[in-house]
Structure formats: structure tokens, C-alpha cells
Amino acid sequence: MKKILMAGLIVLLSLSLFAERKALVIGNSNYAGMTLAAPSNDINAMSTALGSWGFNVSKRANLAYAPMRAAIDSFLVSLSPQDEALFYFSGFNGSDNSNDFLLPAGSNPGTLRPSAANAIGVRSLMDSLAYARSSIVILEASRTWAPQGSRALSKPLHWVGSKAPTKQVVVYATAPDRVVTELNVERSVFTLAFINAMETTDSNFLMTMPGLISEIMQATQQRQVPWFAGSPGVDYRLNPNIYKGQGRYDILDLEGGGSLSW
């Protein structure tokens, strides 16, 4: 019996030795008819933060569909069941009424009919990431498409999820069916606030999110309400040095944000 227990302990220890934190960060700025200012700054800030939190970060910018698909496939193949995975995207999204898609650089968000042949399906991506021990998907999208001389179009993310995969969370910069308040800023409000919150709080991920949501709601006069669903784990912390920080956020019972149901 002792030998069995010892063998089991050795297996667990060996698995933990090979566990890694891996992140893929993509920012698409260049779209047909409109260039976004924020994505390049967003991915620089997010990559720096994730690197300081112990993630092995792959940062990519302005990817057309084929290289974007290849970057994601390469990231997915690199994951093991022991890894912690994080995917971040800043850019435009689209929808076919049954699924959300992340749009590649060079596409036209106003006219493209997104599908698996020309864009990245959010649901499919999340299903693939569920292979990792835990996974977080952060989408800085839900923007307004406003090329010069054309009618502005709201391009919100929707949510057609069902049961949450184990230890997985999806985070939207604003709630489903809404768009972020700023048209084309240099740095996205949510991304910067998210990084600051995770860097400075001494609480875990789930306890930090309600305070972050409240902060952005107040800063935007309730016009932008970040949203999340699922859980990366009861005591999951992005920042491994988080206990050294000072907590800044209270746990609030919020309406319109911080949902843990799918």
C-alpha cells in the first residue's frame, strides 16, 4: 500500500514539474476601412503583465485569417492537461446569429459574413482550450464599426453558451449585446483596468472581478458593464505574487455583470 501511495505521489509531483502557464495574445488593428488604435497598445500591456505573472507569452499582431488560425492551432497543440492557458484578443468580432467570431486583420467587419472558413469561432476555441487544466478567454471586442463616410454599426459579442466547461472562464470587456463606450481610443479601458486589478489586489480571480466591474461601471456612468461567465478555479490567481499586493476591491452584488452562470 505504501508503495502504491508513493508511486502516486511521484506521478503527481512529476506532472506538476511539467505544468506551465501559457498565453496567446492577439491584437488586430488593421481592418478594411478602419484602423483601431487600441489593439497594439492592449497586447503590449497584456503581454508585459502576463509575463510578469509567470506566463510564457506568444504575442501576435495584425493577423490575416490563415496566420491567425495557424497561431491558434499552434498554441492549442502546445497545451498539456497540466497547463494553465490564457487567450486574449483585442479587435473586431462578428456573428452569424448562432456563434460569435473573432475577425482577422484585413477583413471588413461591416460586410463580412463570418464563418469557420474566414474567422475564429469563440465557442470552438473555448472547447479546444478546455483541454488545459484551466483556461481563461479575454475578449476586448464588442466595438462600433465606423469607417469614414459610412453608417456606424454596433458589433457586440453575444452569448450562446450552455454548460460551463470545468475550470474555464470567458471575460467580455462589456456585457453581451452591448458595445464598449469609446469609439477608437489609444488604450482600451477594460484591458488597462483588468491588468491593474489583477496586479494590485490580494484577492483571487473570482473575488476581484466584481470590484473591477463596479469600477468600470462608475467610470463610464454605467455605459460599459464588463461580464464574465464560468470559473478558472475556486482560488485561482493570475498573479502568483498576489499575496504581496494590497486589496482594493470590495465584493459587490452587481446587476448586469459578473455572472457565474452560462
CATH number for the domain spanning 33: value is 3.40.50.1460
206 within some domain:
no
177 within some domain:
yes
pLDDT of residue 4: 47
248 within some domain:
no
Calpha distance 201→211 (Å, rounded)? 10
What's the structural domain count of the chain? 1
pLDDT of residue 116: 95
258 within some domain:
no
4 within some domain:
no
212 within some domain:
no
199 within some domain:
no
pTM: 0.86
Dihedrals φ, ψ of 237, to 5°?
Answer: -130, 125
Q: What is the pLDDT of residues 124-158, one digit of tens each?
A: 999 999 999 999 999 999 999 998 878 889 999 99
58 within some domain:
yes
Domain that holds residue 147: 19-186+226-236
Q: Which residues of the chain have pLDDT under 50?
A: 4-16, 245-262
pLDDT of residue 261: 32
Do residues 86 and 50 lie in contact, with contact meaning Cβ atoms separated by under 8 Å?
A: yes
Calpha distance 244→203 (Å, rounded)? 11
* 3-state helix/strand/coil string of the chain: CHHHHHHHHHHHHHHHHHCCEEEEEEECCEECCEECCHHHHHHHHHHHHHHHCCCEEEEEECCCHHHHHHHHHHHHHHCCCCCEEEEEEECCEEECCCCEEECCCCCCCCCCCCCCCCCEEHHHHHHHHCCCCEEEEEEECCEEECCCCCCCEEECCCCCCCCCCCCEEEEECCCCCCCCCCCCCCCCHHHHHHHHHHHHCCCCHHHHHHHHHHHHHHHCCCCCCCEEEEECCCCCCCCCCHHHCCCCCCCCCCCCCCCCCC
Calpha distance 81→230 (Å, rounded)? 19
